[in-house]
Structures are given as structure tokens and as C-alpha cells.
Structure 1
Amino acid sequence: MKVSKYTKLGILIVLSVTILIWGLSYLKGNDIFKKIDQYHVVYNRIDGLSASNDVLLSGYKIGQVKKISFLPDHSGRLLVTFTIDSSIKLPKNTVAQIVSSDLMGTRIIKINLGTGSEFYSANDTIPGDVEDDLKEQVSMQVLPIKNKAEELLGTLDSAITVLTVIFNEDARKNLSESFKNINQTVYNIEKTTADLQEIVSTKKGNVERIITNLDTIITALNSSMDNFENTLSNISAISDTLARLPLSPIVQSIADATAKVNNILVQLESTDNTAGLLLNDDQLYASVSLLADNLNLLMNDIRVNPERYLKFSALDLGRKVYVNATGDVTGKIIFKVHLVSTETPISTDTDRFKGLGEIEEYIASEAYSYLVGSTSSFTEIVKLHEKALKKFPDASIVAFKNGRLIKLERALKSLK
């Protein structure tokens, strides 16, 4: 069977038209050989979205916008129909959001999948949302800056007004004087700081000693804390004991003691007893004063001339020995200077002994004797004795042999 050329031409035209229609549909994103599902979304505005715009899921194209039309209720809302691959299911609560895909503002639909366990069916209407465009986003970012700028301009205007009022001739003069006073104050502060630094540098040793002494005192207080606690406990015990004592006998005892004291004072004011005579009799008072003066003269004479009253002394105190000694004593005889003897001890670090040398303390018969020097040279001990007399007029030279006190005359015989 022979096919005419017109038949062949018709078949070719039909095939060409079919291929053309399929190609145009494919270029629009409609693949007639691929199974798709379509969904609907209602928007109040679409901000430039048009048919054939892409539909993306996680940044991957899964379909395209098929159709955009107004709803027949004349509300101005738009119904957008888009198609996606039928292999992709949309869970409930999925949102189709219109967003910008580039800086030029090209609009696409971005699928934000929901978390529901159920899925939409084909041709269902799903919720939609519109992202703000670039202009609105820039406006929202710039709006706070604009507000701040307006506030800043208002503040600058107020500041300029204040400066205009301040920087007149009188104000400039006052400011100049204020800055001058400030400079003088800064200079005084610097000078004071320099003086303080000089004082601290010169008194650094004293400060260190003070700190050391404070540390010693604190250490001593810490070590004596137990004693303080015991003292407080004793005071507390005494206070408790006093609190338990009956007050009536104590008050009565005080009243009796007061009466006795008043009786004594009355007797002292009368002249019928010895104490009263001593206080009220001028002649008796004069006699006692004269006796005290005579005793004072007697004691001074004994101190100056003890040889008139004493024939011997354990330490040869006050005994005058006139020897023309020029040599030195050799052997085991040691000369020392006896400074003073007291019933109470004296610290060897006291200023009274300062400059005399090492001080020795001896205790005998409940008396404390203090000596200085230790030499076998009588010439040296005489010099030390003369020096000691300036502070201790009663100082005397004593001699020791083999650690025992001997008479000075016996020691001086060795000089001959």
C-alpha cells in the first residue's frame, strides 16, 4: 500500500505540533511523563509571585507554581495552585511560605514541613505565609537607627544651644579661671604626692619596724588568748558569785564601814588623841617636820661620809681608798664598778645604764646589785669609775678573786 505524500506531510505536521506542545510544556516545568500532585494555598498578597516560579523543599526544587487567581468572594485574596512530585507527601501543619530567592527579589514558594503524623491529599488547601520583602526587612533594620539618629540630632541641637549660651564672654572668663584653679589643684596634688613619697622613702625603716612590732604584738596576743579566756572565765565566775551574794548584808556592811570612817574623821578633827594632835597641833607638826629634816641631813651625811659610821662593808660601798696606783693588777683579781643596789630589780636595758658597757646583775640577801666592767687593770677601772660617777654618784670600785668578793685594800696591795 502506497502512502501518499500528503499523508506523510500530515503525519509529520501532527508529530511536529505534538513535539512542540510537549517541549513548550516541558520548558514550563510540566513533564507529561512525570506523575505530580497539585495543592492550593490562599494568600492575602503574593508580592510578585507568578506562575512557573519554583517550589522548594530544603532548598531543592520539587515543583512549580501552576496557576494564580483571585477568589470569587471578591475579598481580594488570591488562590495559588502549585504542583509537586507525587512521591513527596506533605504532613499536616505544613506551611507554604512565599520567600525571596535572591537579592533581586525573585519570589518562590518554600515548603516548611509540619510535624503531624497525617498527610494532606492531592488538591487539598494548605496554610500559607509571606516573608517580608527586602525593602521591609531593610526598613525594619533601619527604623531603630533612624529613631536613634533623630534622638541624637535632638540631643546635639540641645547641646549646641547650651554651648552657645555657655561660651559667651563672661562664661569663657569663668571657665578660664576654673581651669586655672584646676591646674593649681593638680599641681598641689602632685606636690603633696611627691612629699608623701619622700616621707615614705625616708621613713621606710620606721614603717617596717612598726609593722614588725605590730606583728610581734599580735603574735603575743594570740599566744596569750588562752590566758585571756581564763581571765574572762574567772571574771564571769566572780560576777556570778557576786550576783548570788545577798545585797542586804553588803549594804549593811558598807553603812557600818561608812559610820566608822566618819567616827575616825571626827576623832582626827579633835585634839584629844595622837592622830588629832598630829593633824591639828601646829607645834607637834613643826617638831615632826624638824625631826624629818634632821633625819634627812643624817642620811645625807651617812651617804657622803660612810666611814664615820660604818667600819666594814660587804661590797666596800662608799669606802674611800687613796692609792697612788700606776701599775696593773695581774693574776686572778678582777676589778668591777658597783653602780647601785636595790630591793627591786632594774632592767639592764634601761637608759640609766646606757653607755657604760655590759651590765651584770647579782642577787644577794634579797637585794639586787648591778656592776659594770671586768678588768685586771686598775687604771682602766678607775676611768670607768669616773665615767659611772656621772650617772651614779654612789658608784664604787670592788674587787673579786676567783669569783669571790675581797677587800679593795687587799687587791690594791698587788699593785705594789
Structure 2
Amino acid sequence: MKALKLTRELKVGLLTVITLTAFIWGFNFLKGKDIFNRQRTFYAVYDNVAGLMTANAVTINGLAVGQVSSMRFHPDRPGKVIVELSMSNSIRIPKNSIARIFSSDLLGTRGIQIVIGNGVEDAVSGDTLISQVQTSLQDEVNDMVQPIIRKAENMINSIDTVLTVVSDVFNKQTRDNLINTIESLKNTMANLQSASQSADTLLTSQQTRLVRILSNVESISANLKQNNENLSRVLTNAANISDTLARANIANTMSNLNKSVSGLSVIVQKIETGQGTLGQLVNNDKMYNELEASSKELKQLIEDMKLHPERYIHFSVFGKNSRRNGYQPPLPAEPTDNK
């Protein structure tokens, strides 16, 4: 059999085709595409894809199953971003699965994680999955730091306000007042120290007297202890007296006393107004003078009866003689010389 001879042009053409095929395969392999296996394409719409780039991995439970093919703006929904996902055809993905953008490392590299749903119907190539964006570590740190920053700002403002108030309060006059107050306190402490020294000196000089006083106090305490029974009896008697006074009908007694005082007040009022004999006697001089004159005449009559009883009592067989024993007023008493 005659051997097939290849011309040089044919060899160059075959080499070129093989080189191009290897280049295309290698380029797609580096991009994560397998041109020899059929892949499915899914879509997800996001509001913000910050940090996500083409060729970032698409994973399921941490295993890479595809990559981000492209990203573009939605033609009908301004501001929305359509992300195209290329994944292996052998993975079952329910329609209610979620395409979640997440941080794959601490440096902020973003990727898409497919959260497998529990639906019965599977998604087919060209379907749009439910989109979700997981907060990045930087966003979480920012969310945690923002309240702290706000609190720090408020604290700084408060401190600034306090410093302003303190600066207004501690003006020159206030500082002078504080200096004077400190000086006064210093003088007061010096006076207290002097008083303390004087007290120590006094206690030292009066130590003997203090000992006697304490001895007397101890003696009084001992006497009280010895006469405890007597004191108990005194207290018991005082308690009995108090109980007796409590049981006594003091209310009726006070009522009777009030009535007596009221009656006496009425009598005194009548006397003061000149009612009755006693009132006339106290307030009327004429009656007083008449009583005094009557008393004087009665006294003279008694003296005459003592001196001349025959004038008032006599016995006669022949009857009364009208010319005998006539009444004669007593002679006035002779004045006595007061030497």
C-alpha cells in the first residue's frame, strides 16, 4: 500500500487548527469553562453587585459548580444588574433556589452561593433564580462601628459642652473665691489643731478630776444597781397612781369644778354690780356708814347695860317709877395720852 504523503501546506494547516483549538480550550479552561461539557445558564437580578467580578466562582455548599459569565444592566429596570451564571449540567437545582452573593474570604472577594431550595420543579437553563445579597464582613463591621462612632461623637459633644460650662464657671472671680475658700479651710484646720492641743492640755491637767468624776459616776451606777428593787417599787407605785388617776372620774370632777367656778363668777359679778346686801355693802358707802353707826350704838348699849343694869332690869312692889333709872348716854371715854 502506498503511503499517504502530506504536503507541507497541509501540515501547517493541521498544526494551526490544533494550536487554535488548544488556545481556545486553554483560554476557556482558565476562565472556568469546559467547552467539551454542556453547561446551563441561569440569571439573577441584583440591586448592587459591589465586589463581584466576571469569572468569580459559583458554589453549592462550598463546592465550585460554575462561574459568573457576565454582568450587565437590566434593559427594562433601571439600576438593576443582571448576572449570568454558568453551571454544570449535572447539578439538580430546584426553581426556588437562591443565588446569594457572599464574601468568600476576609479580603472581601465576592462569589455567588446557590442555596438549594425544596421545590419539586427543577430550574432549566435560562431561568432567573431568586437573588439575595449577604452582608459583607466590611458592611457588618461598618454596621457595628457606626453606632459606636455616633456615640463617640455625642460623647465628644457632651464633653465639649461640659468643658465650656466648666470654663464659664471657673472664671477669675470663681478661682479667686476658691483660693479664698482654701485659705479659710487652712485657717480652720489650724484653729482645729490649736483647739485639739488645748483640749489635750486641759485633759492632761484635769486628769485627776476626771478620774474622780468617773469614780463618782461608777459609784452612782453601783448605788442604782443596789437600789434596783426600791426603784422598781417606786416605778410600780407611780404606775399604780397613774392607773388610779386614769380610773378616777376626773371628767365629772372637772365639770363640777367648772360649775362651781361659774357660780362663783356669777356671785362676784353681782357683788361688783351692787346687787344684794353684800353688793350694797361693798359698793354703797351709805349702807356701810349706817352699819358702822349701828354697830357703834349697839356697842354703847352693851356697855351701858354692863355699867347700869338697874336701868334695864328692876323689880318693884309698888310699880315702876318713871323718874328713876332714866336712860343716860354713856360718858365719852377720856382720851389717853400717847407718850
TM range (shorter): 0.3 to 0.5
Decide which structure has greater helix share.
Answer: 2
Decide which structure has greater strand share.
Answer: 1
The normalised TM-score by structure 1 is 0.39
